[in-house]
Amino acid sequence: MSRSFETGAAPHFPSHSTVSRVMLQVIYALVPAITAHVWFFGPGLLVQIILAGGLAVGFEAVMLKIRRKPLWLFLGDFSAVVTAILFALCIPPLAPWWIALTGMFFAIVVAKHLYGGLGHNLFNPAMVGYVVVLISFPQAMTAWLPPLTIAPSGLSLLDVLMTVLSGQPPPGLTWDVITEATPLDVIRTSVASGKMISEARQLPVFGDFGGLGWEWIANWYALGGLWLLWRRIITWHIPAAMIGSVVFLGLASYLVDPGSNPSPLQHVFSGALIIGAFFIATDPVSGCASNRGRLLFGAGVGVITLVIRRWGGYPDGVAFAVLLMNMAAPLIDRYTRPRIFGQ
């Protein structure tokens, strides 16, 4: 007799790409930089990642439940974890626990789920969370540590945990002793006080190009980013346009006035520029879809970052630049559609 079969739509070939695989590869690509961060600044980052990660998954689960979405399917896509790690990488390692709580609330609940969940958010969730805490808690957001190699006192894991959970510096120490301004902060204040950048650069927080330690972390971000490029998780357009525009404009302003403008390499290797170029601005959901659009998007982020660093009220501007360009992305997409075959 004839044999019956289940039917299904073409293509029938199994493919192996999944959202969770994409997200996991982003996480893998961040591992070298996370390691370098811990190497230079101690275990604070790990505490923040675990804290933010736990909160992110918690908020995600609650929102999925409220929105009556399949819980395990969406928790298993790891997108909330990626958001949490990117957020943790942006905040000071000793930031108190409510920084992560506030940040993750705004990232996952407001920026992601209130906009419709995975794939529908207009803004990059990690950056929304970061900008909210940056504006709301400026004091706590300056608790950056100096690299261990030049730190006056190293903190143990227990010290770090206590600091994060209590919001107070370890007993016997003050914030002034354990924290230090970031290299971009130093440049900002020294330029404001009329000092030459070359003078400021003599300070121990600076390394060969950017900040001591920071420049190495940037290298590892770049390495992870190149791996993502190779794995075709991201395309070269956004990183190239973003770094390219920063180098181009930075070089121009440096050549015009080297006294008050840092060198383009200093720009590239400090702050969140490299992580921004490879991991944040490349977020596909809130970015541009076409290659030409991505070039514009990346260049826009680069230019706005430089403008904020030079004239804005904050030492770094990557987060603001990304959010501003997120707003422009739909418009850019509309006008940068690729030519269709044969048209």
Partner 1 sequence: MMHIDPREQARRAGEQLHHFHGGLRLRHNKKISCEIPVEKVPLATRYYVPLLQQAGQEAEPTVIEGQKVLKGDLLGYCRQTGGDSVHAPTSGTVTAISNHPNSHPSGRDGRCIVIRPDGLDQWMTLDPIENWERADAILLRQKIRSSGIVGLGGAVFPTAVKVDEASSKEIHTLILNGSECEPYISCDEMLMREQPDSIILGARILQRAVGATRTVIAIEDQMGAVNTALTGAVKRSGTHDIDVVKVTTIYPEGGEKQLVKVLTGLEVPSGCRPTDLGLLCQNVATATAVARAVTEGKPLIERIVTVTGSGVRKPRNLLAQIGTPVSNLVDQCGGFSPDAARLILGGPMMGYALASDANPVIKAANCILALTAEDVRPEQPEMPCIRCGECSRVCPSMLMPQELNWSIRNGLWDETSDLGLSDCIECGCCDFVCPSHIPLTEWFRFGKSETRLRDNEKRQAEAARQRFEAREARLAVLKQERKRRISEKKRAMTGKDDKQKEIADAIERVRSRQDGDS
Q: In whole angstroms, how close is the CB of 263 to partner 1 at the nearest point?
A: 34
Cβ closest to partner 1, residue 175 vs residue 227: 227
Residues lying near partner 1 in the complex (CB under 8 A): 2-15, 17-19, 21-22, 70, 73-74, 77, 79, 117-120, 232-233, 235, 284-285, 287, 289-290, 333, 337-343
Query: If we measure between CA atoms, which residue out of 218, 147, 202, 143 comes closest to residue 176?
Result: 143
Distance CA 92, CA 48 (A): 9
- Residue 192's Cβ-count burial label (10 Å; 0-12, 13-18, 19+) is exposed
CA atoms within 13 A on the CB side of 176: 0
For partner 1, which is the closer residue by CB, 193 or 343? Answer: 343
> Nearest distance from residue 214's CB to partner 1, in Å?
30
Q: State the minimum distance, in angstroms, from the CB of residue 128 to partner 1.
A: 17
Closest of 220, 330, 219 to residue 269, by C-alpha: 219
Nearer to partner 1, 21 or 138 (CB): 21
Query: Contacts from 11-19 at CB under 8 Å and sequence distance 24+?
Result: 19/77, 19/79, 19/118
Q: Residues 46, 97: contact at Cβ < 8 Å?
A: no
**Between 111 and 118, CB nearer to partner 1:** 118
Q: Mention every residue, 6+ apart, whose C-beta is less than 8 A from residue 201.
A: 266
Q: What residues form DSSP beta bridges with 51?
A: none
The distance of closest approach from Cβ of residue 118 to partner 1 in the complex, given in angstroms and rounded to an integer, is 5
Least distance CB 74 / partner 1 (angstroms): 8
Q: How far is the CB of 243 from partner 1 (least distance, A)?
A: 20
Q: Which is nearer to partner 1, 37 or 112 (CB)?
A: 112
Give 259 or 338: the residue with its C-beta nearer to partner 1.
338
The Cα 261–Cα 263 span in angstroms is 7
Estimate to the nearest angstrom the gap between the alpha carbon of 239 and the chain centroid: 13
